[in-house]
Amino acid sequence: MFSVSHIFQFTASFFEVVSLNRVGGSTPFVTLDYGTFLGAQDGNLTSFLGIPFADSPVGDLRFRLPVPPPQLEGVQRAVSFGAACPQHALSPLPGMNFTGKYTKVSEDCLAINIIRPSFKLVPGRNLPVLVYFHGGGFEIGDATETRMNDIIDRSVHSGEPLMVVVPNYRLNGLGFLAGKEVKEAGVSNLGLQDQRFALQWVQKYISSFGGDPDRVTISGVSAGAVSVAMHLVSLDGNPNGLFHSAFMLSGGPLRLPSVLDGQSEYDLIVSETNCSAERDTLSCLRRVPLDQIMAAINKTRDIFSYSSLNLAWQPRVDGDLLRREPYESLVQGLYAKVPSIAGTCDDEGTLFSLANLNITTDEAFSEYISSNYLKGTTSAEISDVLRAYPRDPTKG
């Protein structure tokens, strides 16, 4: 059986590889127009971690669209993951802990991470790029949640090497605040806007790392897969050259509320942070200390509360990035016509039912789905659902 080193040597010779630019003999570095970044090599893998792709969204930049990072002086060490974006506190589940063990959590979290085999193809043969959006219900998670090294090793084994790019994006109320004030300011769906900004960064800079900007696949699991679906239908399905294929696992084009439907959460946060008396409540929220605004966000429902996947924080139809219900975009053909794969993890839904174990009767189930997911439906339509999902699953 061939070892990883044998496969790597064969692949290297086959593609006539040349070394990355190096400082000090073995340390890879890349110079971009806003800074020089020193990466790390570990065996057959080279990584550049924690590179800022946007300015820090704190202070006056909180609740604003992403903007380019500032000019960075000197050589920047890109050898460890950056801070995780602030995380929503989840309702406890018996015997389970979904709190990430992050070295640092900060609003200064819009960093991108590049992992690739330790070789660069000759000009014209750069590596295809897999951009991965992490999951976490749009409430938790960061770029460290999934080991990308295994994917790259597998690609080298198969003789089809690729590089993986994983960006962070704003989460929960910091990334998906909604309401009329948000709509009027044009700052809805900031988490998706961060992802899109990261894709623009990839188009501009990934060739400096040996990646091919004309072969970018966007991918993700759970909320990451939903994100991919949102990019497929955003802007009437125009990808603007940011990606060329898509992969979704356990997520897709959901039914979305409008940005105006998030007013109750907005008002709660304004009230909890003592911004109610301000004429411009959004500006007030930009000045609130992070711990105070997160304490308010943590009072909203989460993925393991009774409402489960009826999320407080998620993408919303805003008439701008997402112009209509995703299903309507699909029916009208207004989606990106790129090769796509979609799949689902087996029995994944069980996890999200653990907070609702007290729903044991048809009456309780009817109330739950009508109040949480099917608002405005008729009793006859609810009856149809009950027939499709009877108390005894063997009869369904």
Over the stretch 355-383, which tens digit does the pLDDT of each residue have? 888 888 999 999 998 888 888 889 899 99
- Stronger pLDDT, 334 or 101, i.e. the higher one: 334
Over range 317-334, report the average pLDDT. Answer: 96
**363: exposed, middle or buried (C-beta count within 10 Å: 0-12, 13-18, 19+)?**
exposed
Tokens of 142: 């960061």
Contact 308, 353 (CB under 8 A): yes
- 101-138 tens-digit pLDDT: 788 999 999 999 999 998 766 667 899 999 999 999 99
Q: Check: CATH 3.40.50.1820 for 4-357? A: yes
Banded model confidence at residue 393, pLDDT cuts 50, 70, 90: confident
Residue 224 has pLDDT above 60, yes or no: yes
> In this structure, is the dihedral angle defined by the CA atoms of residues 237, 243, 247 and 252, taken in order, positive or negative?
negative
Report domain extents, the chain.
4-357, 361-396
Q: 188, 219, 222, 307: which is the annotated catalytic residue? A: 222
Residue 282 has pLDDT above 70, yes or no: yes
- Stronger pLDDT, 266 or 254, i.e. the higher one: 266
User: Which letter does DSSP use for residue 349 in this model?
Assistant: G
Over range 275-297, report the average pLDDT. Answer: 98
Beta-sheet strand order (sheet of 40-42): 40-42, 45-52, 111-117, 163-167, 127-133, 211-221, 245-249, 340-343
CA-wise closest residue to 171 among 147, 201, 143, 130: 143
Lowest mean pLDDT among 2-11, 144-153, 159-168, 327-336: 2-11
* The pLDDT value given to residue 238: 95
* The pLDDT value given to residue 10: 30
* The pLDDT value given to residue 355: 83
**Separation in Å, CA 78 to CA 85, 127, 143, 200:** 18, 20, 14, 20
% of the chain with per-residue pLDDT over 90? 73
pTM of the model as a whole: 0.90
* The pLDDT value given to residue 57: 97
Residue 243 has pLDDT above 90, yes or no: yes
* The pLDDT value given to residue 248: 97
For residue 137, the surrounding DSSP H or E stretch is none
Banded model confidence at residue 254, pLDDT cuts 50, 70, 90: confident
Is 222 among the residues known to form the active site? yes
Give the mean pLDDT of the chain. Answer: 90
Residue 18 has pLDDT above 50, yes or no: no
Banded model confidence at residue 5, pLDDT cuts 50, 70, 90: very low
Sequence-ordered alpha helix ranges (H) in 206-325: 223-233, 263-272, 281-287, 290-297
Strands (E), 78-135: 111-117, 127-133
Banded model confidence at residue 396, pLDDT cuts 50, 70, 90: low
